[in-house]
């Protein structure tokens, strides 16, 4: 066997674990409450996609349609990612490091606790689309929007690193601190930078509602991490999973529907007009 394969094996085992997908699938579906926390989100994501399609039929403004595509992709990512969780594909049994409250525990006959790392995939690929939609509604520029996207990807990936680190307990919390730092910068952008821009744009009423749902909901994720099996183990896997699922419902599907209901009338505050999104060169060529 090639040496690089041998060196990569511990990393692979840390991510996907040694338990088979079938074992994890059976473990999840033997617990009706745990299974339902995944299946519910698949159903709600599907219904949200259908609702977006219906509400977007009359949209003609290119900026409104871009926001629509952005929120559509939130549910597209969610339905795919929750299917991965339900099938056992993105679940692992990870052995906690010495000193962790769950060190020495077993799950489904294996040493370790159930880590739902597929949720981090959901957040990594869906939260950027949430921020793109909110940034466009606030009337922000693409520099700030893409900065927030980069930060949220960093936030989710460092959160994943915290969940999967098994070498030392302090490293888990170091990753957690890094993730929380990125998160607080995003909160600043939402509450300060984009709030001020929404006031100027004239979208403050809808943006204030959206930012509060997003910020309050997003604060719940690090709290659940700290209290769940990845942190202090105050909450068990089922309660933690339901907590994450409930937060996803609020910050994804509820926020999406509020945005779509707002966009349905194509308000002038967010309308970009027929030339929005075209390059200056294209506009000049058209004028000539």
Residues pairing with 114 in the sheet: 93
Exposure of 245 in the CB half-sphere (CA atoms within 13 A): 25
Helix, coil or strand: residue 114: strand
Q: Do the beta carbons of residue 121 and residue 90 sit within 8 Å?
A: yes
Helix, coil or strand: residue 30: coil
Helix, coil or strand: residue 260: helix
Q: Do the beta carbons of residue 48 and residue 249 sit within 8 Å?
A: no
Q: Per-residue pLDDT for the chain (288 aa), expressed as one digit of tens each? A: 444 444 444 444 555 556 899 999 999 999 999 999 999 999 999 999 999 999 999 999 999 999 999 999 999 999 999 999 999 999 999 999 999 999 999 998 899 999 999 999 999 999 999 999 999 999 999 999 999 999 999 999 999 999 999 999 999 999 999 999 999 999 999 999 999 999 999 999 999 999 999 999 999 999 999 999 999 999 999 999 999 999 999 999 999 999 999 999 899 998 876 655 554 344 444 444
Four-point Cα dihedral 226, 232, 236, 237, nearest 10: 50
At residue 84, the pLDDT reads: 97
Q: Do the beta carbons of residue 190 and residue 214 sit within 8 Å?
A: yes
At residue 277, the pLDDT reads: 54
Cα distance between residue 73 and residue 24, in whole Å: 28
Q: CB neighbours of 271 closer than 8 A, spacing ≥ 6?
A: 61, 63, 64
Cα distance between residue 189 and residue 258, in whole Å: 21
Four-point Cα dihedral 208, 145, 85, 175, nearest 10: -100
Residue 134: alpha-carbon gap to chain centroid: 14
Structural element, H or E, at residue 97: none
C-alpha closest to that of 240 among 252, 248, 232, 228 = 228
In angstroms and rounded to an integer, the radius of gyration of the C-alpha atoms of the chain is 21
| Angle, in degrees to the nearest 10, between helices 237-248 and 32-55 | 10
Cα distance between residue 86 and residue 8, in whole Å: 27
């Amino acid at each position: 066997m090639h040496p690089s394969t041998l060196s990569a094996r511990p990393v692979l085992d840390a991510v996907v674990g040694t338990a088979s997908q079938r074992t994890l699938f059976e473990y999840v579906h033997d617990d009706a409450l745990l299974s339902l926390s995944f299946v519910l989100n698949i159903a709600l994501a599907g219904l949200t996609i259908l609702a977006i399609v219906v509400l977007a039929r009359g949209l003609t403004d290119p900026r409104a349609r871009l926001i629509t595509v952005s929120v559509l992709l939130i549910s597209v990512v969610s339905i795919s990612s929750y299917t991965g969780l339900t099938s056992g594909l993105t679940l692992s049994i990870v052995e906690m490091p010495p000193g962790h409250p769950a060190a020495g525990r077993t799950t489904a006959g294996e040493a370790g606790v159930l880590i739902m790392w597929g949720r981090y995939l959901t957040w990594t690929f869906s939260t950027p689309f949430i921020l793109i939609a909110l940034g466009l509604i606030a009337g922000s520029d693409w520099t700030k929007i893409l900065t927030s996207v980069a930060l949220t990807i960093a936030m989710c990936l460092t959160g994943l690193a915290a969940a999967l680190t098994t070498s030392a307990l302090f490293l888990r919390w170091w990753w957690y601190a890094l993730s929380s730092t990125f998160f607080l910068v995003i909160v600043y952008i939402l509450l300060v930078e984009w709030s001020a821009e929404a006031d100027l744009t004239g979208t403050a009423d809808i943006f204030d509602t959206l930012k509060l749902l997003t910020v309050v909901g997003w604060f719940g994720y690090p709290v659940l991490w700290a209290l769940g099996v990845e942190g202090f183990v105050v909450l068990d896997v089922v309660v933690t999973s339901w907590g994450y699922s409930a937060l996803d419902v609020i910050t994804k599907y509820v926020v999406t529907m509020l945005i779509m209901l707002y966009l349905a009338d194509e308000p002038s505050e967010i309308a970009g007009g027929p030339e929005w999104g075209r390059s200056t060169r294209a506009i000049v060529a058209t004028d000539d």
